[in-house]
Structure formats: C-alpha cells, structure tokens
Structure 1
Amino acid sequence: MGALTGYKVLDLSRVLAGPTCAQILGDLGADVIKVERPRMGDDTRHWGPPYMQRPEGGDSNEACYFQAANRNKRSVAIDMATPEGADLVRELVKECDVLVENFKTGSLEKLGLGYDTLSAINPRLVHCSITGYGHTGPRAHEPGYDFVIEGIGGFMSVTGERDDRPGGGPQKAGVAIADLMTGVYAVAAIEAALLAREKTGRGQHCDMALLDVQIAMIANLGQGYLATGDIPQRMGNDHLNIVPYQVFSAKDKQFVLACGNDSQFAALSKAIGMPELAADPNYATNPMRIKHRDELLKILADRFSEETAEHWSALLVKSKIPVGPINNFAEALDDAQVKARGMVVDRLAHPINPDFRFIADPINLSDTAVEYRRPPPLLGQDTASVLSEYLNIDAERLAQLHGAGVIQ
C-alpha cells in the first residue's frame, strides 16, 4: 500500500513539470492515467537522442527524456480536440480524484474541459493547472518555457561566473530547474488540497506557475534584497555570504569545500596544517573572511594545490568539514552513498527493454514506501484496458472510436 493508493489521477500534461508531478503521485501509489494525443503522444517522446537502447543493441524510438518523468502511468491515447474525445475525458474525470494539466490559459475552456466545467461534473476533483505565468496577470496567456522563466525570475542573474572573470555572464541551470521544482511544488499543492477535501468534501483548483516558483526559489537572496535594497550579483562557485565556500583545485582535480561557520574554519585550518589562519583577526570570523576573501582564498588555493583531491577529502572528512569531489554523472551514480541509498533502480521490465534502469524517487517513507509498478508506457498501450475498466466501454465501441481516430 502506497501513501496514495486508491487515488486516481488523470494526467493531461506533457513535457516536464506536469509529468514530473504526476510521476511522483504515481510513485506514491496513485493510479495515474496519462492522456496523450493519438499518433504523436507527449512531445518528449520524440526529444532524442538519447533513446532507450534495445537489448540486442541500437536505439529504440523511445526518448530518454520521456522516460525520466512518466513511470507508474498508463497511457491512453485520446484526441481531445474531437467532441467524442472530449466526452471521454469528461467521463474519466467523473472517476478521478485529481487532474493534472499544463495547457495554456484558456485552452481547455475552449474544449469544454476547464475547471468550472469539470468541477461541476465532479465537485470533489482537485484540478492542478501548471502554466508558465499562472491564470491571472498580464502574461497569463503567454507560453512559458523554463529557460525564459529562469531569466525573468532572476535566477540567471545569480548563476554563472562573475562578470570580471573569464567566461563570466549569466547561465541557466544544467537541468530545467523551474520545471522540476514546479512539479514538486504541485505535488505539495495537490496533497494539501486532498487533505482539505477530507474536511470540506470539496475539491479545488491549484493554479501553479513556473514564474511563481522561480521567484520563490530565490529564497535567502530575494529576502536579502528586500531587506537591504542591494541586488545580489553572480559569484560563480563562491558564496555571497560565507567564506571559504567554493571550488578549489587540488593537484589532480577540483573539489568542493563548504565551511559554514567559524568553528569549522578553525577545524579546517588545523587539519591542513595552518592553525595560524584561524588565529588571525583577518580570518577568525566569517564577516572578516568575507572582507579579506581574495587574500584568504589565495592562501588556501596554494595549500590545496600541493596534494590530491582524495587526500584533502579524506583528511577533511575526519575533521567533519563538508567536502566532496565534483563528479560527472558516471561518478555520481557510482558513489557509495548514492548506491547505499538505492538511487538507481537496476531493473524494471519494459516492453522494449526487460532491464530498464532509472533514477529512483528520493522520497523515503517508513510505512508506505514508494513503489515502481510500471515502466514508462508505450503510446496508447493501455487505451482499451483503461476505457473498459473506468468507463465500461465494450470492444465494439472501442473499435468504433479507434476507426474514427478518436483513440489509438
């Protein structure tokens, strides 16, 4: 029994934020029905390479992008733009607890599938809309893409190397961070709405916007600006408020050092054989280390260049100093701690690849653990079974709908 076993989710979303949200709900036990366009499916089915590899070798036509956000779902291919397809979706809504969608503001209303219509059909429905800018405001009808949101929301202004250094300038994150975080926030909103429904008996609309989430993500930097009026600048791998807290180069490779307080700095100074640093008034406290940042970092950089990253990591871990290598993905997934936490699932049989591997869900619950019941589905592989199970549609009617192009 998962935490959400018994709940039914209709996933009308595509690409990343909505599918990530629905995947987490599925990992927690919900029965997730992913509705896709016949013949085309979710856009990300085609966002390759890379693609899933066939056991005998060579690419399949299943993009890894799609696989990253669509496990624990059943795929139903319905053309919602047809009257018959929209009717099928409305009938499915009657049977579901949650609907997740990321259509542009106003698009579902044109199909007769907006929140007002669906909540009248099912007053207990929790309807989660995910858009770039939300359903209100001057940009509500614009399409929203993660890259653009990272720029508008201030994230890129504090990400990247300093302007006065080589390669300086704004940078986006290496993954679509606004999309992913919106998916996680949407899960929290949906679960809160489900808890509220236990008290009121009514569902509600969750209006989730990528830009809202991106603004929330500026966190302490945003709060600092509100308090002082000082606009944070890009610091590269340095930290605006803490020193030393950045990347250093050892004899062989780079590593990350995060020295968060004065006692840790004293332990660091002793561990690297330079206890005089912690006794120096210029470096004894964090405000003074910030003031004398450049000269202190030059001293530390020279010292760290004398030994390997493994040497410094082993030494500093013993002194309880936060430290670690800068891993590529192969190294990260091979890390002993990552393996111990089970963050790579080695096998879940897929119709194309019986040894399908994937990154695990990071949620750990003591009594209702996440489960991996289904691999990412092939397009429309569950259309007949779901419509039969949910709506009692018989084989003859399914054949008619298929022949008319309403379903696949």
Structure 2
Amino acid sequence: MTQARQAPLTGIRVLDLSRVLAGPWCTQNLADLGADVIKVERPKLGDDTRAWGPPYLKDADGHDTSEAAYYLSTNRNKRSIEIDLASSEGADLVRELAKHCDILVENFKVGGLKQYGLDYESMKAEFPHLIYCSITGFGQTGPFAERPGYDFMIQGMGGLMSITGERDGLPGAGPQKAGVAVTDIITGMYASLAIVAAIRERDRSGLGQHLDIALLDCHVAMLANQNLNYMTSGVTPQRAGNAHQNVVPYQVFKTSDGFMIVAVGNDSQFRSYCQAIERADLASDPKYLTNRQRIINRDELIPLLEVTMASGKRDEWIAKLEAGGVPCGPIQSIDQVFDHPQVVARQIWKSMPHPIAGSTPTTASPMIFSDTPVEYRRAPPTLGQHTDEILQELLGKRAI
C-alpha cells in the first residue's frame, strides 16, 4: 500500500509577528501548505484587522461576533497566542518560541523590534537556523527605509495608479486604485516564495538568513510589461481605461444590455472576431491586418467596433465569439462570480467549523496539488485561542 504523502510544509513551524495583510497573507499561504503558523497578537486587541468591520462574522442567531470579515480573509489554518512584546517577559517568551520555529515573519517598521531584542541582528547568533522575513514599506535600506508604507500610498508612488483609470479627456478620467489591496497581496506572495526558497537553501547549508521584502519593490516588479514598455522606449505609459497598451482589441465593450470583455490575443483571433460580429471587411483592411497596425490605428478601429458591439446583446455576442474561438467574457459582480458554474465546480467557496459562529466561509486556496492537497484544518483563530496550548506544547508552561 502506498503511504499517504504529507502536506509540502509539514514539520515547518512559523512564528508570525505580522499583522494587517501583507504578512498575514504570506503566512496563510505557508499555513495552507502545511506549516504550523503561530500568530502572535497583542493582548486584548490582537491584529488590527479584527476591528476592521463591519461586516463581521455572524453567530447562529444572526448576531455579529467579534470576528471581522477582513481578518477572516487572511488568517486561516493558524494558531493564536497573546503576547505583550513591549514587556521584557513577552520579548523573552518570543525568543523561547523562536528556538522551536523555523521561520519568523514580521512587518514592523525598520528597527522597530530592536528595542525588544527581536530584530534579525539580535537573534541570528542565537538562532542560526532561523529564516527571518521582514516585510516593510520600503525595505531595510535606502532614504525611505524608516518611513511607514501602506498599500494605497504605494499604489500611487509605485506607478500603478498612473496607468489605472480612464484616459484623460474622457468622462471619469483620473488615477484609480485597484479594488483590492494588490500591493499587500503581491508582497505576501513574493514573501511566501522567498521563504520557501530559503527553506530549500537551508536544506543544503543548514543556515537561515534575513529576507528583506518591501511593498514598493514588489509593487514595481509586478508592473511587468508596463515597466519594459517604458524601459525600452523611453515613453511613459499612460492610463488606457479598460483597453490594453500592447494588444488591440483587448478591452471592455458596451452591448445593448450590459458590458463584456473581448480579449483578442493574435491576428488569427482578430479575423475570427470580425467574422463572428459580421465585420469581415475590417479583418481584410490593411490598416488592421496585424496587431502592430491595429495599435497604430486604434483610434479609428475601436469606434467602428463599439458601434457594432452596441447593436447586440451581451450573452448573444459571447456565444458567437466563443463559437469562433475568440476569448471573451462578461463583467460579473462578486455574487455572480460565486454563482458561476466554473467557480462552483472548483469549490472556491468553502466552509470551516468556527468556535464562536459555528462555521465560517473561506475562499479556497488556488494552489491545487494532485497528491498533497491544501487542508482546511483550522478556522481563523479567535484572539489568544491557542495561548495555553502553544505554551504547554512547546515550552511546557502556562500563560504568564
């Protein structure tokens, strides 16, 4: 009989001193992969996001609990312990726990943990095996290192808002932030990857190291092709609304009864698109034969397509374009997303037992493993839920 394989990070223990989103998103990824994540929280207050409501999780009688939806979104599969880092006893307790952990994640301001003796330089000699991940706004070096950094301000400083929003001169023009805290999320993802890589390297060297992960760095990195558009041409990218800077047509179109997306990725798809909307004449026009020509002549082509698309119904266009192999889709609200048959089939809405509410919804991890699937072991913990359990298990003592 084949022995069951364990989750990828089984046996790895994480001491999580982070709060809000970027750090907790990182550690939730690690927890989903099987790591034992110990979330250290301030006594009586806990993670800031516990109070970021409404909405709050409701109990069986429909009343609000103390668990904010924001907090629930990013703390699955963890255990919570209350420790006052500002006290000498609390700082000593964190050091004791660190002895039994493989990874420490923190998102204090640069130098913020030094006063407690919990910064990397203070701990590396005593814990040479420890992988210490610092998540900050601007990193450990540079003229902005000591400044606090927040997702919204980084979206502005990092360039995303300069390319997000409607074009100048059109209704609603102006810079626009993303609808979720994408800087925090992508930073958490980069931090997760860096930690897994550091674990692999430690398998060879036996040594930990300091990971310096900055919101600004991660944000700029995720601009991808927009960075290279500028770096190779010297031309600063501008806002394009729902259009694509490098591919035409690749945008939102208004139909007679709603909005939809057409994502033509190559010249063959453009010919199929024109055939499906009964504008084969556009596909044969020399001005639109190639994507390069369509970009050059965008301002002439798009109004012609807009008139045609506005003459038909959204779902009818989608059926025709899908039949022709043209990538397209509707713009859906979040409730429609969770009702979509593909989302339902992939079981992205999950429910977990919760000690206060009975159960809590959670969004499934998108990491799909054939033989070591993500396990939904624990609902996001209540404040200090596991304090006694952790202290007894790791240190053989009770709460102070």
CA positional deviation for 1:308: 1.2
CA positional deviation for 1:58: 2.4
Corresponding residue for residue 356 of structure 2: 352
Post-superposition Cα deviations, 1:331-361, rounded to whole Å, max 9, x if no partner, equal 111111111222111x211012223111111
Give the 5 Å matches for 1:35-46.
35-46=40-51
Secondary structure of 2:342's counterpart equals helix
Please tell me the residue identity of whatever aligns with 2:46. G
Corresponding residue for residue 380 of structure 2: 376
Post-superposition Cα deviations, 1:292-340, rounded to whole Å, max 9, x if no partner, equal 2122211211111122111111111111111010011001111111112
1:200 aligns with 2:205: yes
Unaligned 5+ runs, structure 2: 1-5
Secondary structure of 2:358's counterpart equals coil
Give the 5 Å matches for 1:3-402.
3-345=8-350, 347-393=351-397, 395=398, 398=399, 401=400
CA distance in 2, matches of 1:55, 1:20: 28
Secondary structure of 1:121's counterpart equals coil
Post-superposition Cα deviations, 1:16-64, rounded to whole Å, max 9, x if no partner, equal 0000000010000000000000001000000001111122112212110
Aligned length: 395
Assess if the C-alpha contact under 8 Å between 2:110 and 2:145 holds in 1. Answer: yes
CA distance in 2, matches of 1:256, 1:55: 40
Report the more deviating stretch, 285-294 or 89-98.
Answer: 285-294
Post-superposition Cα deviations, 1:62-82, rounded to whole Å, max 9, x if no partner, equal 110100000100000000110
CA positional deviation for 1:112: 0.4
Runs of 4+ in 1 over 4 A off after TM superposition: none
Please tell me the residue identity of whatever aligns with 2:103. V
Post-superposition Cα deviations, 1:73-102, rounded to whole Å, max 9, x if no partner, equal 000000011000000000000000011110
CA distance in 1, matches of 2:228, 2:296: 22
CA distance in 2, matches of 1:349, 1:155: 38
CA distance in 1, matches of 2:63, 2:266: 51
Post-superposition Cα deviations, 1:259-297, rounded to whole Å, max 9, x if no partner, equal 011000001011112211111111111121112212221
Corresponding residue for residue 404 of structure 1: none
Please tell me the residue identity of whatever aligns with 1:103. F
Question: How large is the Cα RMSD of the aligned pairs?
Answer: 0.9
Secondary structure of 2:343's counterpart equals helix
CA distance in 1, matches of 2:127, 2:371: 31
Post-superposition Cα deviations, 1:85-133, rounded to whole Å, max 9, x if no partner, equal 0000000000000111100000111110011222222111111000000
Report the more deviating stretch, 53-62 or 380-389.
Answer: 53-62
CA distance in 2, matches of 1:198, 1:33: 22
Secondary structure of 1:255's counterpart equals strand
Please tell me the residue identity of whatever aligns with 1:372. Y
Assess if the C-alpha contact under 8 Å between 2:59 and 2:358 holds in 1. Answer: no
Assess if the C-alpha contact under 8 Å between 2:249 and 2:302 holds in 1. Answer: yes
Secondary structure of 2:54's counterpart equals coil
Report the more deviating stretch, 245-254 or 54-63.
Answer: 54-63
Normalised by the size of structure 2, how large is the TM-score? Answer: 0.97
CA distance in 2, matches of 1:123, 1:355: 41
Secondary structure of 2:193's counterpart equals helix
